[in-house]
Structure 1
Amino acid sequence: MMSFREDKLLATNVPMRIVSLISKINEYKGKQVLYNQQAPEVLNTLKNVAIIQSTRASNSLEGITIKDTRLIDIMQNKVQPANRSEGEIAGYRDVLATIHSSYDAIPVKPSILLQFHRDLYRFISLEGGSWKNSDNAIEEVYPDGSKFVRFNPVSSFATPGAIEELCKFYNQYSNSGEIDSLMLISATILDFLCIHPFCDGNGRMARLLTLLLLYKEGYEVGRFISLEQIIEESKDAYYDTLYQSSQNWHEGKHDLLIWSEYLLGIILAAYKELMDRVGKVSRARGNKAMRVEETIDHFVSNFSINDIRRRCPDISPSTINRVLAKLRDANKIEVLGIGRGAKWKKNY
């Protein structure tokens, strides 16, 4: 809420480089209807892939990982979670599905955030759905075991009121249109992370809230492209910009624009990827082998089979291996090692 008090965001002088990002994103936003009309089957494929990628990446950022085969089975509701990591994956899956299917009927208010958090932890013993009951700190742990406090969030006592105030500010400016919607979203997410309202799961909740707010402001790219995966691929910048923009937040003297520029860059990258994938998948006409080839062609450095699987989670390992063998026999790629983690190199 410190990004909104005393009209801080309203009075912010947005530099041209950020205005340019906003303009480019809005250009892509205007093409969404065209994509839906021209390539509905392609978008359906991308949607299914994005759900898996988003769930994997957002949890991976928090150190929650499971085998790809189990991930697919859990995402498709073929198996029940067998441990805490799988339970957290399943919880994220369900909240993500709720947002995708019902975003227009979901109000932005504290009780909804509590409901999302409850559902996030539905499959594990940790009790979700309540604000933190003790103060927390955002810490970085160094290899030698020492710790560095990156930020001290709002106290547990002040958290309910802070979230209530933040939701009111978001709804006020969303309804009035006084503030650009993308700047409004970035400020809301930064404040949410600075409040850090839960004992656990704040990062995942922030990314789910980002998706919800983008939907509510008319930006549908998160349905087809995983914002979480793009964030994971730039996680150093993610944490660095959060750190920089959170300094002096409690005093209302923080620099919101550092974080805003990063988040807008993520959204623009997602729209560019959507346009690229719509074109490529349309040409491939859903052919999975061709999609694997297109994915390999997109790599700018050496890659592994797991890199391909992360980008094509709906494609079977046998299909991926078949494409790799074909390209290897054609001398287009070569393997640089042995075993599952072996890297492949393009010869073109």
Structure 2
Amino acid sequence: MQLRNRSEQEFAGYRKTLDYLFQEDWQPLNLGLILHLHRLLWSETALDGGRLKLDDNLVVDRSPDGTVTVRFVPVSAAKTESYLVGLLEQYQEAQLAERHHPILLVGLAVLDLLVIHPFADGNGRVARALTNALLIDSGYEVCRWVSLEQSIADTADEYYETLLRSTHDWHSDRSDPWPWLSYFVATLATAYETFARKAAADRSGSTKQERVRTHVLKHAAPVFKLAEVRSALPGVSDQTIRLVLDQLKAEKRVMPEGTGRAARWRRIPGTR
């Protein structure tokens, strides 16, 4: 299949990375594995992946008016390899010690990996791919069936906010990891809830429209976004969700608030 643009190339590379982690015996967890994952990410592009950054980098926000705000300063290029090797060794030692919950250890490892920011580009995708692998290795396999990447995309503002809060004072060992860990654990819990609902719906034999209707009227928050329904019902298209929402609107059971991507839907009281 011909990949038409950079986005499709990067998506194909990410898919190849996940396939490797889901299907292969990827152990041991070491620097070579991280470099290989980055190489796979860029394998469908003209870029040369699998190399640590050569120059210091910054994580910044760019406002529509061109203003640039520094989110945090990653580890310098000169120290990147030693920090990364140290992180991987400490993670494995902590897992073997079994003194802390494995989900917390995975979350902390991902946080540190993002702060180290070992590559010039693709750090977030490497971190998310490795998150799936470490969770599965720890016995939490929900990410095989529910996309954590989609959950993060649907809560992007919270994702970046908690990362920012937990990276303050990281270099001086005074950072607070709990904003990020709380988000990370909640995202994983939501994934399991999504999987349970999907499994229950599949057993019920309901149509996709019936599943959307049941979710909106019985399980969704009083005010919700279309993306939240999509996340809760994997395999149901946006077109089907919009069709059901329009039907419920005509029945005066929900009402829209706003337009476009920011639009929300409010369930009218007494319609559950």
1:94 corresponds in structure 2 to 16
Q: CA deviation at 1:268?
A: 1.5
For structure 2, the 5+ residue unaligned runs are none
Residue 205 (1) aligns with residue 126 (2): yes
Structure 1 residue aligned with 2:4, among 77, 82, 89? 82
Q: Distance in 1 between the 2:53 and 2:151 partners? A: 29
The answer as to whether partners of 1:91 and 1:123 remain within 8 angstroms in 2 is yes
CA distance in 1, matches of 2:57, 2:165: 19
Q: How big is the shift at 1:331? A: 6.8
In structure 2, C-alpha distance between the alignment counterparts of 1:335 and 1:244, rounded to whole Å: 33
Equivalence for 1:281: 202
Residue equivalent to 1:227: 148
For CA contacts below 8 A with separation 6 or more, give which structure has more relative contact order.
1
Which residue of structure 2 lines up, in the alignment, with residue 47 of structure 1? Answer: none
What aligned pairs does 1:1-348 form with structure 2 within 5 A after superposition?
Answer: 79-102=1-24, 105-284=26-205, 287-294=207-214, 296-297=216-217, 299-300=220-221, 301=223, 314=235, 348=271
TM-score, normalising length from structure 1?
0.66
* Structure 2 CA distance for partners of 1:136 and 1:105, relative to 1, 3 Å: closer
Secondary structure in 1 matching 2:13:
helix
Instruction: Supply the AA of the counterpart residue of 1:290.
Output: E
Aligned AA for 1:180? H
Deviations 1:198-246 (Å, cap 9, x if unpaired)?
A: 1111111111111111111111121222222222222222111111111
- Aligned counterpart, 1:23: none
The one-letter code matched in structure 1 to 2:210 is M
Post-superposition shift, 1:279? 1.9
SS at match of 1:158: helix
Aligned length: 267
Please list every run of 5 or more consecutive structure 1 residues that lacks an aligned counterpart in the other structure. 1-78
- The 1:322–1:152 alpha-carbon spacing in structure 2 relative to 1, beyond 3 Å, is closer
Counterpart Cα distance in 2 of 1:195 and 1:206: 11
1: distance between equivalents of 2:232 and 2:108? 30
Residue 194 (structure 1) shift = 0.6
Deviation of the 1:108 alpha carbon = 1.4
The alignment yields a C-alpha RMSD, in angstroms, of 3.2
Given the two structures, how large is their TM-score scaled by the length of structure 2?
A: 0.82
